[in-house]
Chains A and B, each alone.
Chain A
């Protein structure tokens, strides 16, 4: 029996060979890689256009070797719509955070889903505004301390966190809506499946797809990376349950033939 070691895991083609600026342990790096792997496995690198948000992932165009826009805060779905209407044959996605998708961009988020645009959104939910220094987000949990909820978020002052996946799933134009997490390898594997299904939803022309990715944010949460993954597991998932909230009954391969 010959023993050859073959490479079974390496950087995907669509990911540029550069260091990413994200903080140590951040879920953005993992999700960016999953996005690149998906684009490679489906084989659409040269017909994919991405729209980067304002937030920690504003530099996404430095990491993915595809055409990319940088949109104004919250407006990525509108920018993506403009592109997709001009080039319906392209695979167009937006990559957005809490501020972009759940705060300033909620109108754009609702309407891209309502219109059923054949566009995919990858929405990173880390319950905070990372890039600007750790302010409260609409997804910040009750009691969570941030730089603008220094005493802990209170229901009386600022109401309840928004569950974007459930919200958009009520819209008929939204065809595939899932929530996943990247805080452990097992969940990362599930996250990738969901991202792939979301892209397939678009490619098959079925409608709008969105994958909400729960991510750790060690820096803004004031924790070590490992502690932050525990916080996702123990604190976030009970409020933001994982799963598919909407999926077409037929038409997606889920990695196997349908």
Chain B
């Protein structure tokens, strides 16, 4: 289980993250950000994000932070 946080003000709407996400959980926002770009927004209503970081790896503006579940119980 994971999630991402996109800094709308750093995003330039290049859509590389949208293209990179294997589960299609990122989309273009309907509003313009302060710089005039339609930034990317995280759309994961069903909580399917695995925190794979492919979006953040490809983001040229380091606008994405990724969080992933840390299982604290040791695997048996």
Query: Chain A: residues with CB nearer than 8 A to chain B?
Result: 1-11, 15, 19-20, 22-30, 33, 184-185, 188-189, 218, 224-226, 229
Residues in A whose Cβ lies below 8 Å from that of B12? 23-25
Residues in B whose Cβ lies below 8 Å from that of A226? 15-16, 19
Q: How many A-B residue pairs have CB under 8 A?
A: 94
A5 to B1, alpha carbons, bound, how many Å?
8
Residues in B whose Cβ lies below 8 Å from that of A20? 60-62
Q: How many residues of B contact A (CB 8 A)?
A: 33
Cβ–Cβ contact B37 & A24, under 8 A: yes
Which residues of chain B in 1-36 are interfacial with respect to chain A, using CB atoms and an 8 Å cutoff?
1-3, 9-10, 12-16, 19-20
- B56, closest chain A residue (CB): A9
Within the complex, which residue of A4, A8, A30 is in contact with B53, where a contact is CB–CB below 8 Å?
A8
Residues in A whose Cβ lies below 8 Å from that of B58? 30, 184-185, 188
A interface, over-half SS: mixed
A189 to B52, alpha carbons, bound, how many Å?
13
Cβ–Cβ contact A7 & B67, under 8 A: yes
Residues in A whose Cβ lies below 8 Å from that of B48? none
Closest 9 CB pairs of A and B: A29-B60, A24-B12, A25-B14, A24-B14, A9-B66, A5-B67, A225-B14, A9-B56, A185-B54
Cβ–Cβ contact A2 & B73, under 8 A: yes
B29 to chain A, nearest CB (A): 14
Cβ–Cβ contact A5 & B3, under 8 A: yes
Residues in B whose Cβ lies below 8 Å from that of A19? 9-10, 61
